[in-house]
Chain A
Amino acid sequence: QVQLEQSGAEVKQPGASVKVSCKASGYTFTRYHMHWVRQAPGQGLEWMGVITPSGDSTRYAPKFQDRIIMTRDASTSTLYMELNSLTSEDTALYYCAKDSGSFSGDYWGQGTLVTVSS
């Protein structure tokens, strides 16, 4: 069955970077786009970006455009999301999601809590 296993919680200082991973299993990793979505405390879901199956192209939400990098490693079926210049507003639960093939996320990781605090 499809599983997306995310890396553990992180605590970072303001101005630092964080890199979250998402290891996929149970399907052909190189056939599907992958997304990152986050939810800050008390807030709604927020789409961050998407990466193509081959990893050769990404599309980011405008608000993250200049400080996010999404990559993927086909050899380990792992997706990565790096967010730079962290502020307290980046404290959130970060989810990876597999695209269904029809512009929606059909399987999701369990979430990775990133806390930004001095």
Chain B
Amino acid sequence: QSALTQPASVSGSPGQSITISCTGTSSDVGDSYYVSWYQHHPGKAPKLMIYDVTKRPSGVSDHFSGSKSGNTASLTISGLQAEDEADYYCCSYTSINTYVFGTGTKVTVL
């Protein structure tokens, strides 16, 4: 069960849009309605940003959005803000009824 592949880092200026990819296989992302995204500041509790590929929990800003195509899921942050600087992880339910996280992406606001 290998970790899903994410870019190690993504950066952007305030107000720009960035997209983080999350590539898996037909046994996880490609076969799952259940892809979620988490914002994580190391040492603190992760925060759920997106679930069920595209849904936002209440309280999460609408400048976060999720999508999926084939074996790749994506998180888009529109109108990047300084407080969006954090690590982001995708997570997928798998065909063997387990979960697998992505490798993580460090988002830097320039």
- For the side of the interface on B, what is the size category? 20 to 34
A44 and B3 contact, Cβ closer than 8 Å, known pairs A61-B98, A102-B52, A104-B34: yes
**CB-CB < 8 A to B42: which residues of A?**
39
Q: Which residues of A are in contact with B by a Cβ distance under 8 Å?
A: 35, 37, 39, 44-47, 50, 59-63, 93, 95, 97, 100, 102-106, 108-111
CB pair B40 A45 closer than 8 Å: yes
- A-B pairs with beta carbons under 8 Å apart, 6 shown: A61-B98, A100-B57, A104-B52, A105-B48, A108-B45, A108-B47
Q: Are A45 and B38 interface neighbours, CB within 8 A?
A: yes
B46-A108 in contact (CB<8A): yes
Expressed in whole angstroms, the Cα–Cα distance for A100 and B59 within the complex equals 14
The 8 Å CB contact of A50, one of B34, B48, B99, B103, is B99
Pick the contact of B48: A47, A61, A93, A104 (CB < 8 A).
A104
Could you give, for residues 20-59 of chain B, a 1 whenever the CB lies within 8 Å of some chain A CB and a 0 otherwise?
Answer: 0000000000000010101010111111100110010100
Closest to A110 in B: B45
Give the CA-CA distance A105 to B46 in the complex, in Å. 9
Q: With both chains docked as a complex, state the minimum distance between the C-beta of A25 and any C-beta of chain B, in angstroms.
A: 15
A63-B1, A108-B45 known; A45 and B101 CB under 8 Å? yes
